[in-house]
Amino acid sequence: MKLSTLTAAAVMVAGVAHAEMVAPTKVAFTEDGAVEASLTGKAGDAAKGAEVYGSKKLGNCVACHEITTQDVAFPGNVGPQLDGVADRWNEAELRGILVNSKMTFEGTVMPAYYKVDGFTRPGKAYTGKAADDTFGPLLSAEQIEDVIAFLMTLKEE
Amino acid sequence: ITVPMWAMADPDDDVLVLNGETEMVTKTAAPAHLSDAMDEVMSGWHFRSDETQTMQADDFDNPGMVFVENAMAAWETPEGSEGKSCASCHGAPEDMAGVKPTYPKWNDGAETVYTLQMAMNDCRTKRMGAEAWGYDKGPAIEMVALMSSVSRGMPMNVAIDGPAQATWELGKELYYTRTGQLDLSCANCHEDNYGNMIRADHLSQGQVNGFPAYRLKNAKLNGVHSRFKGCVRDTRAETYKPGSAEFIALELYVSSRANGLSVEGPSVRN
């Protein structure tokens, strides 16, 4: 009996997780630009998030941000330092900033990482050619959740 | 090395004296049409390292001058069915001093805004019976570098009113339009963030007074439209083509932002 209950529960969790995978066009923002629910229905992996943050091929957040405790060459300073960012923003707010920062900071230069429409002359990555059917968000739902988990570790207080 | 990058990220106050003779205007009051956006315009030269700056200050050290020499040879070489060279009609390259700072410029005959490359190609196709040069391709860019080199030290001075105005307006619109998946305009990087570091790149005002630019990165002369294309591509956008109506308009507009700065091309950049 116990076994089958467990199995049923596991199936249910998987089903729920699937149902909660939020598409880029379906993200619900609060009035202040936060996104309450995890895009994957799960918590992210902070270690993977750190990699997405620092990798030029993935988030390339270091192009504009510095985290002084991170050893990445040539961080940019177009955006603010992210040391202690989890003291300033909660998880839902950070998710909103990542999904579409313009919902939090009007007119910001920070790109929207989970958005697929409303662009002018969208291209196919960095080829200079027009976007084709491979066009997708800059980061996957999972990568976004990983970066959020990583940012949540940046506490100073 | 442990010093944070932005400690040295501000444009410097060095003075560019060309060949120990000509003092260049590399910072000056912004032209009137820009006064609501910025007070001072600055050459991209101020944003480069001392080593790169020094290279540009002396023709013997400037790797771009080799290409100017190629163009000097081409200037004298007859081409096309008419058996004429540029020199046959225009005399010495130095006689063209003062032409570069006024381009792009309205051409009455063609009733459109001409870039220097379009003016040169008119001479090639209509006056020499030769083939047009490909836009921003080697021979064209070398000749632009020669035309620029004889105007070095003269202030950029493109006209934005009269018949060129509509093209200028289009260029301005393009400058402020955010493109691509990164949703960034020229202004986002070169007006809002010059002086800041975007990764290892020190953002300048994106001025064109130094073009053609010899880039250490690709070891050749680069045209204005090719640079624009690279910047638009970096917003993850579909770019325009060198020589396109959009880039001609954008070149006119961006050139007008440099009005007052000395012509520097061929400059040295990274």
Strands (E), B108-199: 112-114, 197-198
**Minimal-distance CA residue of chain A relative to B186:** A109
Beta carbons within 8 Å of A103's beta carbon, 6+ residues apart: A29, A33, A96
Hey, what are B231's tokens? 């910047």
pLDDT over 90, % of chain A: 81
pLDDT value at residue A1: 36
CA distance A141 to A100: 13
Nearest by CB to B181, from A66, A128, A138: name it: A138
CA distance B153 to B263: 5
Hey, what are A146's tokens? 């990983």
pLDDT value at residue A11: 42
Q: Tell which residue, A108, A106, A97, A99, has the closest CA to residue A138.
A: A99
By three-state DSSP, how is residue B143 classified?
helix
Return the amino acid letter for A95. Answer: R
pLDDT value at residue A18: 53
- Residue B226 distance to chain A (closest CA, Å): 12
Which positions of B are annotated as active-site residues? 231
Query: Interior CA angle at B140 toward B137 and B145, to 5°?
Result: 115
**pLDDT per position as a tens digit, A101-118:** 999 999 999 999 999 999
pLDDT value at residue B7: 41
pTM for the predicted model, two decimal places: 0.94
Phi and psi at residue B86, in whole multiples of 5°? -60, -40
pLDDT value at residue A157: 77
- Residue A123 distance to chain B (closest CA, Å): 4
Hey, what are B185's tokens? 């305009």
- Residue A147 distance to chain B (closest CA, Å): 18
pLDDT value at residue A69: 87
Q: Tell which residue, B166, B32, B175, B157, has the closest CA to residue B101.
A: B157
Q: What is the dihedral of CA B189, A112, A49, A35, to 10 degrees?
A: 140
Phi and psi at residue A121, in whole multiples of 5°? 50, 50
Contact state of B233 with A120 under an 8 Å Cβ cutoff: no
User: B67-98 burial by CB neighbour count: b if 16+ within 10 A, else e?
Assistant: bbebbbebbeeebeeeebbbbeeeeebeebbe
Hey, what are B73's tokens? 């040879």
CA distance A108 to A111: 8
**pLDDT surpasses 90 at A128:** yes
User: B148-183 burial by CB neighbour count: b if 16+ within 10 A, else e?
Assistant: bbbbbbbbbbbbbeeebeebbebbbebbeebbbbbb
Domains in chain A: ranges and CATH: 23-115+132-151 (1.10.760.10)
Taking 70 as the pLDDT cut, the residues of chain B under it are 1-9
pLDDT value at residue B191: 98
**pLDDT per position as a tens digit, A48-101:** 999 999 999 999 999 999 999 888 888 999 999 999 999 999 999 999 999 999
By three-state DSSP, how is residue B179 classified?
strand
pLDDT value at residue B21: 95
pLDDT value at residue A84: 97
ipTM of the shown complex: 0.93
Contact state of A128 with B238 under an 8 Å Cβ cutoff: yes
**Minimal-distance CA residue of chain B relative to A129:** B238
CA distance B54 to B48: 10
CA distance A130 to B180: 10
pLDDT value at residue B10: 80
Contact state of B238 with A62 under an 8 Å Cβ cutoff: no
By three-state DSSP, how is residue A21 classified?
coil
Q: Tell which residue, B270, B184, B196, has the closest CA to residue B235.
A: B184
Nearest by CB to B198, from A73, A78, A111: name it: A78
**pLDDT per position as a tens digit, A3-62:** 444 444 444 444 444 557 899 999 999 999 999 999 999 999 999 999 999 999 999 999
CA distance B250 to B18: 29
Nearest by CB to B197, from A76, A109, A120: name it: A76
Contact state of B236 with A125 under an 8 Å Cβ cutoff: yes
Contacts of A110 in chain B (CB under 8 A): none
Beta carbons within 8 Å of B135's beta carbon, 6+ residues apart: B117, B223, B225, B241, B242, B243
pLDDT value at residue A35: 98
- Contact between A148 and A95 under an 8 Å Cβ cutoff? The reply is yes
- Contact between B98 and B151 under an 8 Å Cβ cutoff? The reply is yes
